[in-house]
Amino acid sequence: MLQVSYIRENREEVLNRLSVRNFKNPELVDQIIKLDDDRRQTQTLLDSIAAEANAAAKKVGELMRQGLKEEAEAIKAKTTSFKEQTRTIGDKLSAIEILLQAELVLLPNLPHHSVPKGIGADDNQVAFEHGVIPQLMAAALPHWELAAKYDIIDFELGNKIAGAGFPVYKGKGAKLQRALINFFLDNAEAAGYREMQPPIVVNEASGFGTGQLPDKEGQMYHITGDNLYLIPTAEVPVTNLYRDVILKAEELPIKNCAYTPCFRREAGSYGAHVRGLNRLHQFDKVEIVQVVHPDHSYEVLENMSNYVQSLLQKLELPYRVLSLCGGDMGFTSAKTYDMEVWCAAQARWLEVSSVSNFETYQTNRLKLRYKSGDGKPQLAHTLNGSALALPRIVASLLENNQDDKGIKIPAALVPYTGFEYIS
RNA sequence: GGAGAGAUGCCUGAGUGGCCGAAAGGAACAGUUUGCUAAACUGUCGUACUGGCAACGGUACCGAGGGUUCGAAUCCCUCUCUCUCCGCCA
């Protein structure tokens, strides 16, 4: 959520940067400023009436103590009108505040100056490419067929016990999952991230804090009996650890990582491109999250991007880095890099990580601030990224590394799997 | 699941209708002093909104929401959460 004060003071800039996103509703900006004017006026009025009422009440108290009953009663009689007024104006104020809030959450984050203007995925810029596109043998198979051939991932069995999008990993397939999780966690720890193991259900306040609620409610699994949500990403619990927190400046940066299963209903996304591991309702992911001083967040974004790339390099996967254009970025992001790996049998790039700087967009909702010396609390910046999400990594490992003997495990992973081949 | 207790500032904790934005202690920070990995003393020490160039004011917040009252941390109602005991159990 953007700060109203920023919008007021930088109206032109806000409009310019929203246009980078191809934002359809720029008149919202002026509506918000207008509403905030109303809010201020109403607030001032309410405050002055409350001040009068407080003074009168205090006077009554004094008079009572002095035993001047009649004079006290006289003032009491006068104060009754305050009550009515405070109620009316107070109601008006909260109505304005609700409206203002409702409009404010409709404004996406402002893209950073380096974000290219654009409408959709076609306008994203390829910032970097790495690795060699493998040439597969003629009999090469897509990963869902390889998974069946080597009996390592069973989609049918998952259908039976849960439903589509809940695969069962078997034997070396299961062990490969475990190996990847440990590989990612060990690397994150070596890069200075502190491992956290958060709950995989969250309450409503947490869903609001990171922006899943109220609007993206349909994307999360909801446990109605206890009003909890299954997390769509570890970003939600790990970032919410710092909701309503004022940190000391010297506590920054905070670098956390977490492995969790992630649950996504993916309502409405079905079709040819979601076969096999391409899109699941439940998947495993290691997430990295940082809370940083605003002066360093873009430097940190590059670090995080490089870190994610280092993982892909160790896994010897060909990948590219996209600098997302304004129109393709997530609502809450100021700048995002997507990492895509090449899936040789499907012959397509698959997104395996998304690294974003949210600047103050999340922290304004979370009320996550830092304080240096005797200064006022300031909103911190948050960033996060997948490092990494497993299914598509597995998909590309299977497809890219297949040969006539089986699936070759990259050397960096062998200490974790304990085997070199799936055959 | 049954029974009970509780929720106050960074922490502990006092406060049962006006003198309470809130005692006291601790922690933290700044300073003074004693010549030293420490003590003593002094001071500072919540957040948000809002008015003002500023100095300096106003308002709100004692888990959340409502109510009673001229006036609520304090009384009433609802909700949420936490803790203890019993039951069940990994």
C1’ B63 / CA A253, Å:
30
Q: Would the pLDDT of A52 be above 80? A: yes
Rounded to whole angstroms, the Cα distance separating A115 from A398 reads 34
A381: which 2 tokens? Answer: 């910046």
Q: What are phi and psi of A177, to 5 degrees?
A: -60, -50
- Residue A376's pLDDT band (cuts 50, 70, 90): confident
- pLDDT value of residue A268: 65
Query: Is pLDDT above 80 for A65?
Result: no
Q: Report the run of H or E that residue A155 belongs to, with start and end.
A: helix A155-161
Quick: pLDDT tens for A87-108.
Answer: 888 888 888 988 998 899 899 9
Q: From the CA of A220 to the C1' of B87: give the distance in Å.
A: 35
Burial of A414 (0-12, 13-18, 19+ CB in 10 A): middle
User: Any idea which of A8-22, A128-142, A151-165, A313-327 has the lowest mean pLDDT?
Assistant: A128-142
Q: Supply A128's token pair.
A: 């970097």
Task: Give the residue with greater pLDDT, A313 vs A250.
Answer: A313
User: Residue A80 pLDDT more than 90?
Assistant: no
**pLDDT mean over A59-73:** 82
Share of chain A above pLDDT 70, in %: 98
d(C-alpha A112, C-alpha A127), whole Å: 16
Give the per-residue pLDDT at A269. Answer: 63
d(Cα A20, Cα A9) in Å, to the nearest integer?
19
| SS3 call for A39 | helix
Does residue A272 have a pLDDT over 70? no
Task: Give the whole-angstrom CA distance, residue A148 versus residue A143.
Answer: 9
Cα separation, A76 vs A272, whole angstroms? 75
Short-list A413, A182, A192, A212, CA closest to A286:
A182
Residue-wise pLDDT tens digits, A214-248: 777 788 998 888 888 999 999 999 999 998 888 88
pLDDT, average across residues A293-297: 93
The structural domains of chain A, ordered by start, are 4-104 (1.10.287.40), 121-422 (3.30.930.10)
Confidence of residue A194 (pLDDT cuts 50, 70, 90): very high
| Comparison of pLDDT for A134 and A335, the residue scoring more | A335
Mean of pLDDT values over A37-61: 90
**Tokens representing residue A67 in the block:** 């035993």
At A348, phi and psi to the nearest 5? -150, 160
Q: Give residue-wise pLDDT tens across range A145-190.
A: 999 999 999 999 999 999 889 999 999 999 999 999 999 999 999 9
Q: What is the mean pLDDT of residues A277-305?
A: 95
Q: Cα separation of A330 and A232, whole Å?
A: 15
User: From the CA of A320, how many Å to the C1' of B82?
Assistant: 49
Residues A361/A332, Cβ–Cβ less than 8 Å: yes
A147-to-A117, A196, A329, A358, A359 alpha-carbon distances in Å? 40, 31, 33, 37, 41
* Residues, CB < 7 Å to strand B: A 5, 36, 39-40, 43-44, 46-48, 50-51, 53-58, 60-61, 64, 76, 79-80, 82-83, 246, 369, 371, 376-377
What is the Cα A64 distance to its own chain's centre?
Answer: 57
The predicted complex's ipTM stands at 0.84
For residue A75, give the nucleotide whose C1' atom is nearest its CA. B70
Report the pLDDT value the prediction gives residue A271, as an integer from 0 to 100. Answer: 64
